Amino acid sequence: MHCNRILIHYAEVALKGRNRRDFEGRLRRNIKIRLQREGLGGWTVRRGRDRITIDVTDAEAGQLSRALDALAEIPGIASYAPVAFLTPAELRDGGDDANPGIIEGIVVEQAAAHFREGERFAVRVNRADKGFPLKSDEFGRRLGAAIIERTDWQHVNLRRPDRAFHVDIYPEGAYIYADRRRGLGGLPVFSGGHVLSLLSGGIDSPVAAWMMAKRGCRVDFLHMTASHVRPEDAADNLVARIARHLSRYTLRSRLLLLPYTHFDMALIGHERTGYEMILFRRFVARVGQRVAGILRARAMVAGDSLGQVASQTLENMVSASQASDVPILRPLVGLDKQEIIDRARAIGTFEMCTEPYKDCCALLSTNPRTKSRHVHLESLEARVFPDYEGLIERTLADGRVLDFETGELTALDAPLSSTREAG
């Protein structure tokens, strides 16, 4: 029997209390948004108890692979699988009681299709419908024996199988599947508040943004460019390509590209002190505070990892945070570089982030100070930037705003002040 449904399970959402239905509804809507962008908007997405299902008709079966690839990028999904679904009427097959032999035939068929020489298998039966005539353990043994007798599978490993064959029996019917895939987990996007992620052209900050999306946040992006960006070049900017890719996970995001040039020009004529990098980070924090206020974001996100570089010492991170009244979240703070690289590879941003790029931080990083104090930096800023508010205003005036939805650019130079409800 071919796949006629996709079965989706969630883990963390199921632990919620009175607002659990809100999280479930949000996840269902996110799935519908993503399927619609994949050209599968007509697929029916249903919410059940502890699960979500997607109907797959014969005519749409050829699009199954595209749908499964999309589900792999949706935060909140713990696991998903293409399944053969049987209604209670189909299980009875004209009789009064469910016929276990119908399920057995499908399990044997799936086992034969997934056989690999030398691998070991297990059968997992979940009998949530206590009206089914066989208990879980009894039925599992029967199915395992049928697989050994009627296919090339010969070796069983119940603890760590190479392949598990699943049968979930619920009141609405039976789900039979052999290709259970791990999802991202976490919480559905748009369920955890709104953040503004400070993107550089490096490896770390995209991973930080992705981690906040996985925690359910709506994520927008801010990037400081080394020069003014022309409208015709904005979409091809490296960070714009990174943001476009990240929107496959965030579903809907906007990117604000702001020039670093006004800050750079303000430094001309002043003796280098080694504090330029931390002054720049404080400037980005203040600009970010303004942008966050416009977008109604409640926090900013940075890709700092404690001690990784001179600007990311504890003292300098504290100094950067003290420049803004909006909190700065640092989800990577306890990770080492290899852990961050591994995550960047997993989410598909590593290759882009290793392309040559004129990053502002690199331009300012000559002999940076590893320790700083807020009071001293405020005094230095008063001398170097006597018109700090004007500096921020000129920077914001030269910005470019790009809107992305699930991996596609949908608007260029959209008004920064406009906000849009998700889904």
Q: What is the pLDDT of residue 254?
A: 96
Average pLDDT, the chain: 92
Taking the C-alpha atoms of residue 142 and residue 99, their distance in angstroms, rounded to an integer, is: 13
Taking the C-alpha atoms of residue 399 and residue 403, their distance in angstroms, rounded to an integer, is: 13
The answer to whether 312 touches 337, Cβ cutoff 8 Å, is no
Average pLDDT over residues 344-353: 96
pLDDT tens by residue, 164-217: 999 999 999 999 999 999 999 999 999 999 999 999 889 999 999 999 999 999
Average pLDDT over residues 131-149: 96
Q: Tell me, letter by letter, the H, E, C secondary structure of 17-80.
A: CCCHHHHHHHHHHHHHHHHHHCCCCCCCEEECCCEEEEECCHHHHHHHHHHHHHHCCCCCCCEE
Average pLDDT over residues 140-154: 97
Write down the residue that tokens 């919410």 correspond to: 47
Check whether 162 has a pLDDT greater than 60. yes
Check whether 2 has a pLDDT greater than 90. no
Spatial CB neighbours of 320, under 8 Å, sequence gap ≥ 6: 278, 281, 282, 285, 302, 328
Taking the C-alpha atoms of residue 224 and residue 205, their distance in angstroms, rounded to an integer, is: 13
**More confident of the two residues 416 and 127:** 127
Q: What is the pLDDT of residue 366?
A: 65
The answer to whether 202 touches 368, Cβ cutoff 8 Å, is no
Tokens found for residue 203: 């490896």
Domains and CATH numbers, the chain: 5-182 (3.30.2130.30), 194-412 (3.40.50.620)
Average pLDDT over residues 372-394: 94
**More confident of the two residues 242 and 415:** 242
Model confidence at 410, pLDDT cuts 50, 70, 90, reads very high
Check whether 394 has a pLDDT greater than 90. yes
pLDDT tens by residue, 217-263: 999 999 999 888 888 888 889 999 999 999 999 999 999 999 999 99
Check whether 362 has a pLDDT greater than 70. no
Taking the C-alpha atoms of residue 409 and residue 138, their distance in angstroms, rounded to an integer, is: 54
**Of the segments 169-178, 222-231, 264-273, 304-313, which one has the largest average pLDDT value?**
169-178
Average pLDDT over residues 315-321: 95
Of the candidates 144, 258, 140, 270, the one whose C-alpha atom is nearest the C-alpha of residue 199 is 258
Model confidence at 122, pLDDT cuts 50, 70, 90, reads very high
The answer to whether 368 touches 278, Cβ cutoff 8 Å, is yes
Model confidence at 413, pLDDT cuts 50, 70, 90, reads confident
Q: What is the pLDDT of residue 368?
A: 81
Q: What is the pLDDT of residue 364?
A: 58
- Strands 194-198 and 218-225 turn out to be parallel
Check whether 365 has a pLDDT greater than 60. no
Model confidence at 272, pLDDT cuts 50, 70, 90, reads confident
Q: What is the pLDDT of residue 361?
A: 58
Confidence (pTM)? 0.91
Q: What is the pLDDT of residue 68?
A: 96
Spatial CB neighbours of 163, under 8 Å, sequence gap ≥ 6: 114, 116, 119, 120, 121, 122, 178
Average pLDDT over residues 12-29: 91
Q: What is the pLDDT of residue 423?
A: 52
Check whether 81 has a pLDDT greater than 90. yes
